[in-house]
Structure 1
């Protein structure tokens, strides 16, 4: 069976709130899923993914609601995203908040991973669900997308903010229920698609949020990185190294020995273990640098030489060369194209 990782209590709590609002008695579901209801009072504990998937399946069977996931999105709160929720609250723009999803979504749980791609005038968020139960999977995807839209509208203080298009792998729940998706998202929704994705107008990313606080965001991100490191295990070395690199790069440091020390191993051991996983330290460094570079270019006013310095490049020309090799554009062209 596929390892489904863990999920935060905050993610479980959202489903429970939705169920109780609909008048469902969830007490028996906790017992069947092997969960103690008292866990809802904890903000730090996590449950394993198999238990979370089992709880959602039991809830689907109890409610017999084919659009359960869509409706649970109405019950999202900042706390539903753990620390990530408070990080996004402190961002200056919606684009800044969106850029924080992928690096920190593991704090919410291992339900899936987010990909972000830019096309002319639009941004596409793709979500890859890790849950494999055929009943649970579509409900989890619906929940994630419905929660994103509801939460983004709240962050931006704009109830009219909507995607331009949503594509779902799930099959149509029927013509009558399809209308519930279009009413909530106010955009075309395609069922039976080859991906699960939301497309947004790029100009929407410039929307100012209600409580920007750059200093608080920095503090929360440092705390989030510490939490991420504590979640990782020895079987997830690549992820641990990437998180450590990201933390070091916040100080412009790229040294492998310092990352190894942070992980409690020698530099030689780190090199050997990465080699066994078919990657190198330099490759991981390049990947993290590229993501952070794109974030800085899209969501900050830092000059390109300043960004290069922050990412540990000794010369701006080296940054230009590396960035263009990956993106096909110089940092300046990338920023101008995305403006």
Structure 2
């Protein structure tokens, strides 16, 4: 089996995260080797937990496995059963953090060492805190099982450190409601909304200050460093334009990004960033426009989203501002 070489543009996932899927496949009586080969994988390839797999293969395999098993709630179930150690540095840094706020933020950063091409952030604006998860590549669709799996995993992790009785305020999914809606109610034990602009878990703000009994400063520091090393190794070939685009995709809905702010975040001077983008024939303004156009097109292709919710998801104040922007795009 040919090894995949990451080029900085293809969203990837570490093979360790496929462990639960492989176990289910082996227990099902299905042709495990045949199904893995269909998606360009093998047991030998996956035996190395650090092996890199294109995220699109993983998402497609997850969807097909749920269909073959006739288990539409597969992602929900696996997320609720996952052992935190299977998440590598991200799981261990979550466990060893001093409180839930730090745990979620550290986890969100460290998760990039185990998979790329996903937006994963904690926001505290408004009445509730929200942990957001979204796959940034709009071409990877459907991806319901991955979304179900990830949000179920987050709630499972929080219950592990705060107690089995903990529940989120609400849970949001970008995909449409499924016939197995009772499974969502059973797993999350709260209001679950579908056809939303993003996948997210809403938490009470006071929960974020809860201390964790599993806190371990030395372990947290070590796992953060390990995660940073893995992220650096995987992103060596990523261009500065890609990094700017990724930053804009992650923060577009929540911040008004300027060139100085982006340069500061990426650790380069304003002049260096401006010169590089000009040489590549682009600019921060152009990349923001391209990202917005792509996200709007993707969100408008789904049923159930209002123009107001789409506007907010791409960083506009309301539907009127979005309408004016679309008129400008059409005239250019």
Q: 1:17 to 1:155 in 2, by over 3 A?
A: farther
> Paired residue for 1:97, among 100, 103, 109?
103
- Matched residues in 1 for 2:211 and 2:27: separation? 32
SS in 2 for 1:114: strand
- Matched residues in 2 for 1:85 and 1:128: separation? 19
Match of 1:117 in 2: 123
Are 2:75 and 1:69 aligned?
Answer: yes
Shift of 1:91: 0.5
RMSD, aligned CA:
3.2
Shift of 1:267: 11
Shift of 1:208: 2.2
Match of 2:35 in 1: 29
Match of 1:164 in 2: 169
Q: Which consecutive unaligned segments of at least 5 residues does structure 2 have?
A: 1-8, 245-262, 285-332
Are 2:21 and 1:15 aligned?
Answer: yes
Shift of 1:23: 5.2
Structure 1 residues 1-339: aligned runs within 5 Å? 4-21=10-27, 24-110=30-116, 112-129=118-135, 130=137, 132-134=139-141, 136-156=142-162, 158-174=163-179, 177-237=180-240, 272-273=275-276, 276=280, 278=283
Shift of 1:274: 5.1
Shift of 1:143: 0.8
- Matched residues in 2 for 1:233 and 1:86: separation? 24
Q: TM-score, normalised by structure 1?
A: 0.66
SS in 2 for 1:194: coil
Shift of 1:80: 2.8
Query: What is the aligned residue count?
Result: 257
Contact 1:116 1:125 in 2 (8 A): yes
- Matched residues in 1 for 2:129 and 2:176: separation? 24
Match of 1:244 in 2: none
Q: 1:6 to 1:205 in 2, by over 3 A?
A: same
* Greater RCO (Cα-Cα under 8 Å, separation 6 or more): 2
Q: Which consecutive unaligned segments of at least 5 residues does structure 1 have?
A: 242-254, 261-265, 280-339
